[in-house]
Amino acid sequence: MPQTALRSNPEEFLAQAQETLGPTMEQASTLPPACFTDPAFYAREVEDIFKKEWLCVGHVGQIPNVGDYFTTDLFEEPIVITRDRDGQVHALSAVCRHRWMPVIDGAGNTKTLSCPYHRWTYALDGQLMAAPLMEGAEDFDPKACRLPTYALELWHGWIFVSMDPAATSLAARVPTLTAELAPWHIEEMDVVGPIEYDSPFNWKVLVDNFMEGYHHLAIHAETFEPPHPAKLTYVDPVEEPYSVLRIPTRDGSPMETTFPVVEGLTDRQRREFSVFNLYPNHLFAVFPDYAAWYQFELKSVDRFNLKIFLLAPKGTKDDPARADTLTGMQDMARVIHEEDIIACEGAQKGLMSATAAPGRLSLLERAIWEHHGWILERLGAQVPA
């Protein structure tokens, strides 16, 4: 168990944490509790991981029309996602170039981004169009003024933003995952939700929970365990920066479905559902007939806002005959997540205890071990040869 405080000797701390994880799954333990509770570790994650990676902020289905927008905060940076007159999606800083007021908040449809403070008005691609009463300001050229843009990539319809202008293509990093998801045409699905939760625990507590089916036997004893027993869940080995957990049916029969089954699925894909973590924390699940994702907005080492979205076949959302079905599916997502909250809040409480120590992992928890190892590597821990 690491004795070295991260602050006093970061390299030594990371080396000890690496040792704690263990060289093989059979010997594996979790990260040390400090990695979940120490604000200094969280600060390293923000700087060395979140500000360098692709982060999912939403889905194109939230901005289907010209002028649609929504805002979000990425580590205190106010960001607005817009669809401009040409249908292009942009990720812009919402910070006004005049005196810093966020030019827009919330979500909706607009022709321009018009700052509420002094009405500097920007086009949907961030270009300043008008600034009232600026006559006489020497060398002030509105055409040379625009809201800063962030790197943006649309991947299966999800909108990914990177705060690193040099970020390399996300799709190219995960070719296997990109290919596996193709049959779902997630980019065309209807976005349903969100269901929102203020989540008073470290972000990895939820990621760890999402990526193992071991807890079905207790936390979901009456919901997931009967149709999808813990002991049948397994993790596929992957070489790319994501993990996948497979969750088969108890008797190997095809999953029950609400909507028509996605075309082109294999028999295996009909007998199980799969949950993914595209690192660092794009959590999603694909079922034979729909999908879902968990959207994080991180606030601090022990708090984030969570939005749970469902993805239903195109046209479902506007079909009155499907309204009750969608409500029922959201209710079920709530039931499952509220069971998971019990686990996450419990784990967070325990992590704060002086007695907390790295815990041995079941082989069913391979995805946790993979993700913890990736985090340490990204923070600069030397991976043993």
Choose the stretch contacting Fe ion; rule: CB under 5 A; options: 48-56, 82-90, 91-99, 340-348: 340-348
Q: How far is the CB of 118 from ligand FES (least distance, A)?
A: 3
Backbone dihedral region for residue 384 (phi beyond 0: left; psi -120 to 50: alpha; all else: beta)? beta
| Interactions with ligand FES, residue window 78-107 (CB under 6 A) | 96, 98-99, 101
DSSP sequence for 234-297: EE---SSSEEEEEEE-TTSPPPP-SSPPPTT--HHHHHEEEEEEETTTEEEEE-SS-EEEEEEE
- Residue 161 and residue 170: Cα distance in Å, rounded? 10
- For ligand FES, the closer of residues 98 and 146 by Cβ is 98
Give the count of residues interacting with ligand FES (CB under 6 A).
9
The letter for the amino acid at 292 is: A
- Residue 374 and residue 383: Cα distance in Å, rounded? 10
Q: How far is the CB of 347 from Fe ion (least distance, A)?
A: 12
Tell me: does residue 340 bind Fe ion (CB under 5 A). yes
Residue 340, binding choice from Fe ion, ligand FES, none, Cβ under 5 to 8 Å by partner class: Fe ion
Tell me: does residue 140 bind ligand FES (CB under 6 A). no
Q: How far is the CB of 121 from ligand FES (least distance, A)?
A: 9
Q: How far is the CB of 116 from ligand FES (least distance, A)?
A: 8
Which single residue is written with the structure tokens 């999402």? 210
Site string for ligand FES, 351-370 (x = CB under 6 A): --------------------
Q: Which helix (H) or strand (E) holds 216?
A: none
Angle at 51 between CA 184 and CA 54, to 5 degrees: 15
- Residue 297 and residue 75: Cα distance in Å, rounded? 8
Site string for ligand FES, 115-134 (x = CB under 6 A): x-xxxx--------------
Task: Provide the binding-site residues for ligand FES, judged by CB under 6 A.
Answer: 96, 98-99, 101, 115, 117-120
Task: Provide the binding-site residues for Fe ion, judged by CB under 5 A.
Answer: 340
